[in-house]
Amino acid sequence: MTGADGEDHDNGWWMSQRPLLDLDTLAFPQGGLLMANENCEVPAGTYRNRMKGYEEVHVPALKPKLLAPGENLVHISSFPEWAQPAFTGMPQLNRGQSKVYETALFSPENILLCAPTGAGKTNVAMLTILHQIGLNRKEDGSFSHNNYKIVYVAPMKALVAEIEETQIIVTTPEKWDIITRKSGDRTCTQLVKLLIIDEIHLLHDNRGPVLESIIARTIRQIETTKEHIRLVGLSATLPNFEDVAEFLRVDLNKGLFHFDNSYRPVPLAQQYIGITVEKPLQRFQLMNDVCNEKVISGAGKQQVLIFVHSRKETSRTARAIRDTALANDTLATLAWGVNLPAHTVIIKGTQIYNPEKGAWTELSPLDIMQMLGRAGRPQYDTYGEGIVITGHSELKYYLSLMNQQLPIESQFISKLPDQLNAEIALGTVQNAKEACKWILYTYLYVRMVRNPSLYGLPANGLQTEDALEQSCYYITHGTISTYNEHLKPTMGDIEFCRLFSLSEEFKCVTVRQDERIELAKLLDRVPIPIKESLEEPSAKINVLLQAYISQLKLEGLSLAADMVYITQSAARLMRALFEIVLKRGWENSSEKRMGSLS
């Protein structure tokens, strides 16, 4: 921002408030292999075998849990008739899908679903797609497809063509990032009503910054345009799922679903073999020997699928297994079926050559999970087996990865200049203050609040007066200032609800002409009187909050969308108010306030 004196006041503000940071030193050099946890707690029944040149860690398969009393699977025949063809051939949903069914198909709630590979997360995504399609179903049973688009972001190669002529766009994070960066053409992005992010645990990967950027951009678009976009995240099981849920603005009580490995359709027993030999040739030979041993031990009993990481290594491994089988007179047993998936999956080595870095790097977590996800055949096996042969120094990492012990951290700092430059070019960030506000929408900010020391901040650096509430609950500085100015220990219900409606988070809420009749009707039905005129946006916010708490039904679609937006922020704003009142020693007042709104 340039003043009349020609000086850049925002840059001056920035320089006076913050020292310059060397982002290269703050980025994690380990990238996606970062392990923020010190200890890895393995499941009960895990044991270790120490052999010459390597160590084995055996993790038993987790037994599936029985259905709880009153817990039933959802039959496809109970779906709305128009939605049933999407699940042709399936008699019923599985246990995890049945738990998510109501929220996914019949509500607009943001969702984070954490479940093991093979647990049917894609079908949950299909339910949310059906919900969006159902919103555009006409009275005669036909569908209008002109006013919405659905984006499915997955970490795979995808071709986005003829975007304007389709309703469902399947794309990679990088391609969607490019599309949403184009400020001149928003004919596509402004119609998006549902954004599905598959494999969202890749926030921890080197590709994570792109995911953070497109999600943060979407959330800012929601707040700016007041057009609701449903966010659905699909993830493997992970320990800090609540952090990812907060990043996606998921209601923890309604839209967060976390299923452990007991929900896997075929339980997975795991073996991790860490080679301790350092010399490359001996290490390579020992990997071959261990792999051959595992294959021969299962030959004739079940199918074995081996993953290697180059075409040359494929033929080498095949020859080595053949020669071992000939020497042991077990060659015939190796031809025992070729159907995929297999009972046993072996990952022989976890390093691949990365031309971009000019060095050998570890496989991505996604690759490991996808490979091990092929272990176990639902129609034949009571359990599957995954075997990872790797270096001994990587044992702890893969044990943590596959047993929900690896916290998902943000890699955003490593790409922060590039992502910030994209927002500047897009026009969403125009000065230093807006850049700081933009950071608040990222997963980086969530994790910095949770673990500041890991990100180079002092342990108490964010906990100045009221700053913790501002940080933990995604509250703007302007809202905190409003609360500080107006919050009193003797406030009544009327003043308290009015204070909530003045939160800066709702500054873009407006009163539309076609809403006034319905708002007037609601005004007569809400329990706490409202003094302001219905011309005031704060009155509308107050009415919708009370209507939500009172479970009043709305008729207008725009009002319903605004209610979703307001109530998504309400929980964190109310919680922050509660914490501030507690810190000021107004316990009686805080109890009264929370009681009146419960």
Is 0.75 surpassed by the pTM of this model? no
Considering the domain boundaries, does residue 71 fall inside one? Answer: no
Q: Which domain holds residue 439?
A: 411-472
Res 273: pLDDT: 93
Which residue type does 469 have?
E
Coil, strand or helix at 351: strand
In a domain, 171, yes or no: yes
Query: How many of the other CB atoms lie within 10 Å of CB of 177?
Result: 19
Amino acid at 496: F
Q: What is the mean pLDDT of residues 103-129?
A: 93
C-alpha span between 396 and 168 (Å, rounded):
40
* Residue 80 clears pLDDT 80, i.e. is over it: yes
In a domain, 550, yes or no: yes
Query: 3-class SS at 200?
Result: helix
Q: What pLDDT is attached to residue 226?
A: 86
How many domains is the chain built from? 4
pLDDT tens by residue, 497-522:
889 889 888 887 888 888 889 999 99
H-type alpha helices, 529-586: 537-549, 557-583
- Spatial CB neighbours of 558, under 8 Å, sequence gap ≥ 6: 512, 514, 515
- Residue 371's domain is classified under what CATH number? 3.40.50.300
pLDDT band at 13 (very low <50, low <70, confident <90, very high): very low
Is the domain of 259 the same as that of 272?
no
Judged against a pLDDT cut of 80, whether residue 590 lies above it is answered with no
Average pLDDT over residues 123-130: 95
Token pair listed for 269: 């027993």
d(CA 347, CA 576): 48
Which pLDDT score is estimated for 598?
Answer: 52
Is residue 19 situated within a structural domain? no
Task: Give the domain CATH number at 445.
Answer: 1.10.10.10
Residues 227 and 297 in one domain: no
Residue 480 sits in a domain whose CATH number is 1.10.3380.10
pLDDT of residue 19: 57
Each residue's pLDDT tens digit, 209-247:
999 999 999 999 898 888 899 999 999 888 899 999 999
Measured in whole angstroms, the distance separating CA 31 from the mean position of its chain's CA atoms is 18
Omega before 341 within 30 of 0, i.e. cis: yes
Say which residue the tokens 């929370």 belong to.
Answer: 594
**What element of type H or E holds 230?**
strand 230-235
pLDDT of amino acid 587: 64
Query: 231 pairs with which residues across the strands?
Result: 195
569 and 582 share one domain: yes
Same domain, 117 and 238: yes
Q: Which of 381, 403, 425 is the last residue of a domain?
A: 403
The rounded Cα 299 to chain-centroid distance in angstroms is: 40
pLDDT single digits (tens) 378-429 = 777 888 899 999 999 888 888 888 888 888 999 999 888 888 888 887 888 8
* Residue 204 forms part of a structural domain: yes
Structure tokens at 390: 């790797």
What residues contact residue 75 under an 8 Å CB cut-off, 6+ apart?
91, 92, 93
pLDDT at position 355, please? 56
